[in-house]
């Protein structure tokens, strides 16, 4: 019963004083994280620094640009803040993966209900060739990377 109550209330932000991680947040002191839970640890080293290689990897994956040391520091603080989750004993509690978990996906019938809006859709793009969209050359264009030929997913 306690575990169930925990699950329901968890989405509430920790800095509201409920649950056990009180008075914690990016600005305030961070409560020490208890080791030994079985949840996966987020990548960090030593005093919570994220290695440069990992920053670059994240930038490529998410197409964000951390740009400055401050931005990376903010990321590290955010990770440390989230790490407080490990303070909770979640043994025997199934993870909440979706707020929709008690429902079933709605099945629609196999009827065409919309379409025939080719012109309207093609107008969304600056560059169109014979009803094809033309994307920017190269797969992903980042300022510090050389354009490369489009590549479908590697494993």
Partner 1 sequence: MEGELSGVLNRRCVEAAVMTGLALNCHINKKSLFDRKHYFYSDLPAGYQITQQRLPIAANGHLTYSVYMGKKRSQMTTKTVRIKQIQLEQDSGKSLHDDLRSQTLIDLNRAGVGLLEVVLEPDLCCGEEAAIAVRELQMILQALGTSQANMAEGQLRVDANVSVHHPGEPLGVRTEVKNLNSLRFLAKAIDYEIQRQITELENGGEILNETRSFDYKLGCTVSMRDKEGKQDYRFMPEPNLPPLVLYDATSLPADADSQQVVNIDQLRDMLPELPSATRERLVQQYGILPEHSFTLLNEVGLLEFFQSVIKETRAEPKRVINWVLNTLLYYLKQQNLAVSESPVTPAALAELLDLLDSKAISSSAAKQVFEELWKGEGKTAAQIVTEQQLELMQDREALEQLCQAAIDGHPQVVMDVKNRNPKAINKLIGLVRRTSLSRADPTLIKEILERKLSL
Exposure of 14 by Cβ count < 10 A (0-12 exposed, 13-18 middle, 19+ buried)?
Answer: buried
Nearest approach in angstroms of CB 81 to partner 1 is: 19
Contact assessment for residue 144 and residue 60, using Cβ atoms and an 8 Å cutoff: no
Stretch that binds partner 1, among 26-34, 36-44, 67-75, 101-109 (CB under 8 A): 101-109
Q: Which is nearer to partner 1, 1 or 62 (CB)?
A: 62
Triad 8, 43, 141: Cα angle to 5°: 105
Residue written as token pair 């992903």: 140
Q: What is the largest CA-CA distance in the chain?
A: 62
Rank residues 34 and 57 by Cβ distance to partner 1 and give the closer one.
57
Q: How far apart are CA 11 and CA 98, in angstroms?
A: 12
* String of contacts with partner 1 for each residue 7-26, x by CB under 8 A: --------------------
Pattern of binders to partner 1 over 112-151, x per CB under 8 A?
Answer: ---------x-------xxxxxxxxx-xx-------x-xx
Binding region for partner 1 (CB under 8 A): 57, 60-61, 63, 97-101, 103-110, 121, 129-137, 139-140, 148, 150-155
């Amino acid at each position: 019963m306690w575990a169930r109550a925990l699950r329901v209330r968890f989405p509430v932000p920790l800095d509201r004083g409920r649950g056990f991680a009180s008075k914690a947040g990016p600005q305030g002191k961070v409560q020490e994280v208890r080791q030994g839970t079985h949840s996966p640890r987020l990548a960090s080293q030593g005093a919570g620094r994220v290695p440069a290689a990992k920053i670059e990897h994240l930038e490529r994956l998410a197409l964000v640009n951390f740009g400055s040391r401050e931005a990376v520091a903010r990321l590290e603080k955010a990770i440390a803040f989230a790490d407080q989750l490990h303070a909770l004993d979640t043994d025997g509690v199934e993870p909440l993966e979706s707020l929709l978990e008690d429902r079933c996906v709605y099945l629609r019938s196999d009827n065409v209900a919309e379409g025939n809006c080719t012109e309207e859709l093609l107008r969304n793009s600056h560059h169109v060739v014979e009803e094809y969209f033309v994307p920017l050359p190269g797969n992903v264009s980042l300022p510090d990377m050389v354009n490369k030929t489009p590549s479908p997913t590697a494993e």
